[in-house]
Amino acid sequence: MTVPVLSALRGVRESSVVTALEGAGGRISVTRRCADLAELLGAAAAGLGRVALVPDDLPLLDREAVVLLRESGVRVVALVDGGPRATERMLALGAEVVVDAGAPVADVVATVLSLADPGPGPGTAGVRAVGVAGALPDPAGAPAASDAGSGDVPVGDSTVGDGAAPDGGAEGPPVPPGRTVAVWGPTGAPGRTTVAVNLAAELAALPAPGVAGGAPGALLVDADTYGGTVAQVVGLLDEAPGIAAAARAAGQGVLDVTALARLTPVVEPGLRVLTGISRADRWPELPASSLDLVWETARGLAQWVVVDCGFCLEQDEVLSYDTHAPRRNAATLSALAAADVVVVVGGGDAVGMQRLVRGLSELADSGVAALARRVVVVNRVRASAAGRRPEHAVRDALARYAGVDDPHLVPDDGPAVDAALLRGATLREASPRSPAQASIAALAARVAGVQAHPPRARRALRSTVRG
Ligand SMILES: Nc1ncnc2c1ncn2[C@@H]1O[C@H](COP(=O)(O)OP(=O)(O)OP(=O)(O)O)[C@@H](O)[C@H]1O
Ligand SMILES: [Mg+2]
């Protein structure tokens, strides 16, 4: 069977490669020689190719473009002319195979033919490098050694993933990759941000397994595309939206632990913050294809990555468009898909409980966090809203209507929460030993007992969720 190939190569190399492909005994046909990325994406969407050849300097090529090609059933081969850095960048963008531009054209032909064989499909990690040397991170940012699934990948000193020190590569004992906690909850301001901020602070203060002399560190990320407030809560006023910058760097294939560390100020000992988008209309700057890499990179920077999510799980765009459409809730959905633990927060009053019960069933129906362990938190538990025995009433209602028999209850604690808000600090810092602080510290201990999921399983879930 003939393999249809789309070429976006340019210059002298273009004609020699195309000639070699066309001369491969009829096994390959170059169906479109594209002048730019737009033409390549159009040809891919029209189903004209199964393999795309792209140069490393193709203008506007980013992770989102590679995702679009893969979603069109096209496998991406990058021809690199820019040495190891260009190779790393193309793999970070998601190219499946990287071929050195100086390699014989026969290598390109062989590569195209090998991709036509049944193998790992789009979205899986079938990464290979032909004729190039250097550090090759997995396209999804996971450690190549354990997970790339291809024996012929030279494994170098990737700055992302296993073994990367929290300071971006300093000498020291190997640090296990961090775990991701997505803090989600239904609409109605049940306290997602309050729980996320303080859970991150408490996790940051836990001793690090296997790391001598100190806290493992936590990274708090604001991924609420409707009304992110983490920057204000931790007293980081006038901050540029760090998550947009991180997503941009990921989209261009230049995000690593060091770059992420630069975008995440330390607000309290061991606690870094990646601020959210300041205006809700900036959500298109946060595509899932980039954020997936942000989550993976974050695991190399901190032992705990705590993500404050938006409330909405809808994927209307998938129903409304035949073609790929930007997703308003991509940040929340990708964080949930990457999570080892999902903390579901509901409010401790009649309305909050009803929304929580409905929210738990929406979350289960979405399948988006199927791998994650779920911890249900009822926040602001108080007698004035739940009766004389509020804890009993909350547990009873959750067991009866949602089958949840072990919720974690956080008391309503206006004085402590307000004092922290006023100072722009965490409860641990502003209101230590307050009832709310003690409760969230206990929640952190519970969350810390949860095991991480292997990266391969996470990726499988992500591709399932996106259909
Ligand atoms: N345990 C608590 N005791 C008292 N007040 C609380 C508690 N938790 C949260 N609050 C207050 O409730 C309000 C809403 O909390 P928060 O901003 O954390 O909710 P949210 O779910 O993130 O809301 P949004 O939908 O706006 O993102 C805030 O004023 C916060 O200070
Ligand atoms: Mg919030």
Ligand nearest to the CA of 192: 1
- Which CATH number covers residue 385? 3.40.50.300
Q: Is residue 115 located within the same domain as residue 228?
A: no
Same domain, 124 and 249: no
Q: Which ligand is located closest to the Cα atom of residue 355?
A: 1
- What is the pLDDT at residue 115? 87
Mean pLDDT per block of 10 residues along the chain (467 residues) reads 93 90 93 96 94 95 93 94 89 92 91 76 48 44 35 28 39 72 97 98 83 69 94 87 95 93 94 92 91 94 96 73 70 96 97 97 93 96 95 96 96 97 97 96 90 61 57
> Considering the domain boundaries, does residue 439 fall inside one?
yes
Q: Whose CA is nearest to atom 25 of ligand 1?
A: 189
Those residues with Cβ within 8 angstroms of residue 211's Cβ, 6 or more apart along the chain or in another chain: 173, 175, 303
Considering the domain architecture, whether residues 240 and 291 belong to the same structural domain is answered as: yes
Please indicate, yes or no, if residue 84 is contained in any of the structural domains: yes
User: What's the chain look like in SS3?
Assistant: CCEEEEECCCHHHHHHHHHHHHCCCCCEEEEEECCCHHHHHHHHHCCCCCEEEEECCCCCCCHHHHHHHHHCCCEEEEEECCHHHHHHHHHHHCCCEEEECCCCHHHHHHHHHHHHCCCCCCCCCCCEEECCCCCCCCCCCCCHHHHCCCCCCCCCCCCCCCCCCCCCCCCCCCCCCCEEEEEECCCCCCCHHHHHHHHHHHHHCCCCCCCCCCCCCEEEEEECCCCCCHHHHCCCCCCCCHHHHHHHHHHCCCCCHHHHHHCCCEEECCEEEECCCCCHHHHHHCCHHHHHHHHHHHHHHCCEEEEEECCCCCCHHHHHCCCCCCCCCHHHHHHHHHCCEEEEEEECCHHHHHHHHHHHHHHHHHCCCCCCEEEEEEEEECHHHHCCCHHHHHHHHHHHHHCCCCCEEEECCHHHHHHHHHHCCCHHHHCCCCHHHHHHHHHHHHHHCCCCCCHHHHHHHHHHHCC
* 265: in domain: yes
Specify whether 196 is located in the same domain as 265.
yes
Give the domain-ending residue among 147, 169, 199: 147
Counting atoms of ligand 1 from 1, which one is nearest the CA of 380? Answer: 1
Please return the burial class of 377, using the count of CB atoms within 10 Å of its CB with bins 0-12, 13-18 and 19+: buried
Tell me if 164 is assigned to some domain.
Answer: no
Residue nearest to atom 9 of ligand 1 (CA): 191
Atom of ligand 1 nearest to the CA of 194: 18
Residue 295 Cα to ligand 2 middle (Å): 19
pLDDT of residue 177: 83
Q: What is the pLDDT of residue 12?
A: 82
Question: pTM (2 decimals)?
Answer: 0.78
Per the document, the length of the chain is: 467
Output the CA 189–ligand 1 centroid distance in Å.
Answer: 6
Q: Are 39 and 46 in contact (CB under 8 A)?
A: no
Pocket-testing residue among 193, 198, 307, ligand 1, by greatest number of atoms within 8 A of Cβ: 193
Is residue 450 within 6 Å of ligand 1 at its C-beta? no
Of 147, 164, 187, the last residue of a domain is 147
Residue 152 lies in a domain: no
329 Cβ below 6 A of ligand 1:
no
Residue 191 CA to ligand 2 centre (angstroms): 7
Please check whether residues 431 and 307 belong to one and the same domain: yes
- Residue 307 is assigned to a structural domain of this protein: yes
Domain that holds residue 457: 179-465
Ramachandran area for residue 189 (φ above 0: left; ψ -120 to 50: alpha; else beta):
left
d(CA 189, CA 60): 39
- Is the domain of 141 the same as that of 185? no
Write out the residues surrounding ion ligand 2, Cβ under 5 A.
192-193
Same domain, 230 and 103: no
Q: Are residues 193 and 135 in the same domain?
A: no
Residue 287 counted as domain residue: yes
Q: Are residues 124 and 266 in the same domain?
A: no
Residues 136, 224, single domain; the answer is: no
Nearest CA to ligand 1 atom 8: 191
Q: Are residues 128 and 208 in the same domain?
A: no
Half-sphere exposure of 363 (CA within 13 A, CB side): 32
User: Which of 147, 163, 191 marks a domain boundary?
Assistant: 147
CA torsion through residues 235, 176, 139, 224, sign:
negative
Q: Quote the number of domains for the chain.
A: 2
Regarding the beta carbon of 436 and ligand 1, being less than 6 Å apart is answered: yes
Whether residue 219 is found in the same domain as residue 91: no
Asked whether residue 115 is domain-assigned, the answer is yes
The 10 Å CB-count burial string (b at 16+, else e) for 78-102 is bbbeeebebbbbbbbbbbbbbbbbe
- CA 398 to ligand 1 center in whole angstroms: 21
60 vs 37: CA distance, rounded Å: 7
Identify the CATH number of the domain in which residue 108 sits. Answer: 3.40.50.2300
State whether the beta carbon of 191 lies less than 6 angstroms from ligand 1.
yes
Q: Tell me the sheet residues that pair with 219.
A: 272, 305
Kindly give the number of the ligand 1 atom that is closest to the alpha carbon of 410: 1
